[in-house]
Amino acid sequence: MITERSEKLYAEACGYMPGGVNSPVRACRSVGTTPLFIERAKGSRIWDEDGNEFIDYVCSWGPNILGHACEPVISAVKAACEKGLTFGACHKSEIELARLIRKHFPSMEMLRLVNSGTEAVMSAIRAARGFTGKDKIIKFEGCYHGHSDGLLVKAGSGLMTQSIPSGAGVTEGCTRDTLLAKYNDESSVRALFDEHGGEIAALIVEPCAANMGVVPPKEGFLQFLRDITAEHGAMLIFDEVITGFRLSDGGAQKLYGVTPDLTTLGKIVGGGMPLAAYGGRREIMECVAPLGSVYQAGTLSGNPCAVAAGIATLKQIESTPDIYEALDKKSAVLEEAMKSAGLNVNRCGSLMTAFSNSKKVVSYDESRACDTEKYAKYYRHLLRNGIYAAPSQFEAMFVSYAHTAEDIERTAEIIKAFNGE
């Protein structure tokens, strides 16, 4: 594979941006390659600057559930752009998107549109603190909730990939109120509530963890979190930035039948544009300014072009009744192929990770114990054969509706051919 142009561009980018990238995992350091520079994408395919074609399973880390450059989404964005890129003022499409979100996530009785998952989570936590008048929050080791200060403790995703336990530049004061529990371990949560029960404003969780690799919740774990938070007057926040509209049209909360107090969405809800949302029970959201004193604002919040992409994507999902069943079937074929190649797979619908260890991964510690060198070999094997996967053991593989039966078949054959080298 010739990657001359990408390499040249990467060398140039390194002079301008830390590590040559605008988000750390993209630097591909943990898989021993340098990044490919993407020139264009369509459907299930992406092409790099050297003209190499790949079947893409990164799908922009989740948003592209319909595949790249889906026609109705592109048309809707073009039409919105023609009317003006940003108003910094109210417009009627915001209501349409809010209505669509609430239709699928009835627990989001009121919501706000923001620009990124990081912002959505930061704001949801602030709302929970404002509503409860309490300071402390519980998060889980290996769950990633964006890069705001208070949440960069044993966060998964890029920090795990780079082996950074907690981010530098974050003061002790910022994380003093962040308590850490172990995902899928009820006793660790109970211990924190026993010690700090009256001080806990919220517990935040990825209802199906996807930033330490995919680690689904154990049977009953989410209901346990619902019960214990309710018992202590703490808000339960589901971070559904990845799982929202991915695991079902109503996200993980619909799939697992557990209703949180607050939800954060991102990725698919923005249809590939920078848009996210947070929302929940009306009485909590009524604490947000101008109704209440929890402050949150944004010049580009509710940006009309991003909103248009979100609406078109959600409508497309609605008009494709078999979408989740189809995604599940395609993903199951890939799962079987990974198992044949001796990999240990965790899968929830179209979200999956091929772990390079022999034991079932149900926790952060087990995920961390993976043979990342083996994953790097797997990644390079896929790439050499035209398959673009996440350049980190600790990220997810995403399947889209645009992946054809032939794409899946070809990918499965290539996965099966992985012999550890």
Please report, as ranges, the residues that interact with ligand HOZ according to CB under 6 A: 23, 25-26, 61, 157-158, 211, 395
Q: 103 catalytic, yes or no?
A: no
CB of 95 to ligand HOZ, least distance (A): 29
- Closer residue to ligand HOZ (CB): 159 or 262: 159
Strands 178-181 and 136-140: parallel
Show Cβ contacts of residue 245 under 8 Å, excluding neighbours closer than 6 positions. Answer: 65, 104, 251, 265, 268, 269, 313, 314, 317
- Closer residue to ligand HOZ (CB): 93 or 211: 211
From 254, 267, 374, 377, the catalytic residue:
267
CB of 31 to ligand HOZ, least distance (A): 13
CB of 390 to ligand HOZ, least distance (A): 8
- Closer residue to ligand HOZ (CB): 16 or 419: 16
CB of 410 to ligand HOZ, least distance (A): 25
From 48, 239, 249, 407, the catalytic residue:
239
- Closer residue to ligand HOZ (CB): 156 or 310: 156
**Which amino acid is residue 238, in one-letter code?**
F
CB of 32 to ligand HOZ, least distance (A): 18
Q: 295 catalytic, yes or no?
A: no
- Closer residue to ligand HOZ (CB): 158 or 302: 158
CB of 339 to ligand HOZ, least distance (A): 24
Q: 267 catalytic, yes or no?
A: yes
From 10, 57, 144, 378, the catalytic residue:
144
- Closer residue to ligand HOZ (CB): 313 or 353: 353
Q: Indicate the residue whose CB is closest to ligand HOZ.
A: 23
Cα–Cα distance measured from residue 54 to residue 68, given in angstroms and rounded to the nearest whole number: 12
- Closer residue to ligand HOZ (CB): 158 or 310: 158
Q: What is the 3-state secondary structure (H, E, C) of the chain?
A: CCCHHHHHHHHHHHCCCHHHCCCHHHHCHHHCCCCCCEEEEEECEEEECCCCEEEECCHHHCCCCCCECCHHHHHHHHHHHHCCCCCCCCCHHHHHHHHHHHHHCCCCCEEEEECCHHHHHHHHHHHHHHHHCCCEEEEECCCCCCCCHHHCECCCHHHHHCCCCECCCCCHHHHCCEEEECCCCHHHHHHHHHHHHHHEEEEEECCCECCCCCECCCCCHHHHHHHHHHHCCCEEEEEECCCECCCECCHHHHHHCCCCCEEEECHHHHCCCCCEEEEECHHHHCCECCCCCECCCCCCCCCHHHHHHHHHHHHHHHCCCCHHHHHHHHHHHHHHHHHHCCCEEEEECCEEEEECCCCCCCCHHHHHCCCHHHHHHHHHHHHHCCEECCCCCCCCEECCCCCCHHHHHHHHHHHHCCCCC
CB of 26 to ligand HOZ, least distance (A): 5
Residues designated catalytic: 144, 239, 267
